[in-house]
Structure 1
Amino acid sequence: MQIGEVIREFRKRKNMTQEEMANRLGVTAPAVNKWENGNSQPDIMLLAPIARLLNITLDTLLSFQKELTAEEINSIVYEIDVKLNDETYEEAFQWAKGKIEQYPNCEQLIWQMALILDARRLSKDIPDPEKYEGYINDCYVRALVSEDDNIRNRAADSLFGFYSRKEQYEKAEEYLNYFSSQDPERKRKQAFIYSKTNRMNEAYKAYEELLFSGYQMIAMVFQNLYMLAMHDEDREKAHILVEKQRELANIFEMGEYHEASCRLDLVTAEKNVEATLETMERMLASSDTICDFVKSTLYEHMEFKKPREKFITEQHNNLLTCFRDEETYSYMKKSKSWQNLVINNPYQKI
């Protein structure tokens, strides 16, 4: 708020008229009226007496604050949006500059104002839009030094987009350093830069790595959802989620083993003899496909360690050992097919 607005607000809180305030300060009532309407400013020698009279600090009187509240920022952002709709871009731009000058340390406001001005500059037919980009870019850079990780990352993202649109890809790439190395969005943006700078193998590899890690994350989420459904005894939903896991493994070309294995826990929980036997047979028959994703064209630019034959054999034997657990699969004891498959069957890979 401006100093006049502060005076008016706190004068009214004390139920004091302008004339009463004027008398106590030794000035005229019209002088107080001019302060409150923004037509003039109090003399510097009156600032301390005004603050004491209103029972506020000088910081409050002068509206000094290190940070705006979230509500105040939202209010200013709403106001610039209205101005961009009702006034010329130049008028709204100058108003936004004034707000940024009024709160030069509020990086959240600086970044948001720059983002809104930038978006409108690009989406609306305004005269000479390039003349505004220098100031907008400077605002992004100012927000980039914020101690708040969220603001800093958003500013870096804005600068990445700013230079990408100008096809200055080397400059855009510099801002990827502000993203965490674990952030998938950093890898996606890096892949984009690779593709635009004719580093095609690197682009393919980066996108494929995103695809592969994306499968692992989504599969884990589906599994956790499945566990929640089982906890809530919602078997219908559990069946749907297991089928989704199977479809997911198929889409991402993980191999037949991964398509079959996601069903095992559910059919075991339901003690479904026929479905359990079918699942076991499929898993044993496809145990050598557990690493088939290394053959998929979806991941052909990625480097995988070739699975050792010993690993495949151990996987098959471990499955047999698991399926022979009579406590877990006690409901299978009467099934001759199960006994022939895992108990009586002497065949075991060596």
Structure 2
Amino acid sequence: MDYQRFAAKLLKQRQQLQLTQEELALRVGVTPQAISKWERGISLPDIELLYQLSKVLSLSMDELLDLPTSLTESDNDKDKERLFRAILSEPITLKVGCGFVDYLMKENQQGFPKLQQVRINMAKESGYLLPTVRILDDITLDNHCFQILFYDKVVYEQNNLNPSSSEYPEIFEQLNLTCTAHYEKLLHRQIVKDLIDNLSKLYPVLVDGYIPDKLSYAQIQFVLKSLIEHKKSIRNLCEIIEYLEDNLVLGKDLVSISNELIQLSY
């Protein structure tokens, strides 16, 4: 692909839509620095970002890339895999009205410290690992409306937010509350694997040779979801896994083990 042709196309279309680099970055969910590099022909976005970029710029991916044939017809397996990922729903999306753009640009420049604090709080309080949060502005929303979506489904919406200051703490406070309250909807098996991988670094004997060979991620997911649905913390993951392993050996079923763990209040 010709970097300079792509850069020229991107710059021209952004200017035609009268978007600043900062505004485009927020709509795509990247930093303004990334947009700048793309427009200077220094680098290219991943294909999943190209998909979002083409939507924002009202172009097909072929038009954006100035390709003679469709990218979906490529024989490149890596391209096909990335394109498939692009059409999958994001675990968490935070959509905001235009009234929040300046605030989120400031947060973006600082590395989203409030979002990072949400991650820390959820991990410390409940043992929850927060998936990547894609933050996008949406011109179809009222200026001071925001939505929290899980896999493209709205789980929370607030309209006409009247901030007491320019910091809008309510957005990230609500993100924390919503993700914590409905975490069982977010707990897919990749997150379970990530939790187990982290556990393995601290307690290798507990994991190595047992997970996932004898104890599958699906079984762990079932038990963790049961605990979360009953508002139990999974911070003590080491003890949860150990209890699960010990009782499976005794021939107990997952439902019985889950109920026992709920009563034990790990």
- Same fold, judged at TM 0.5 (above): no
Alignment TM-score, normalising by the size of structure 1 = 0.24
Alignment TM-score, normalising by the size of structure 2 = 0.29
Q: Which has the higher helix share?
A: 1
Larger radius of gyration: 1
- Indicate the structure whose relative CO is greater, using CA pairs within 8 Å and at least 6 residues apart: 2
Q: Which has the higher strand share?
A: 2
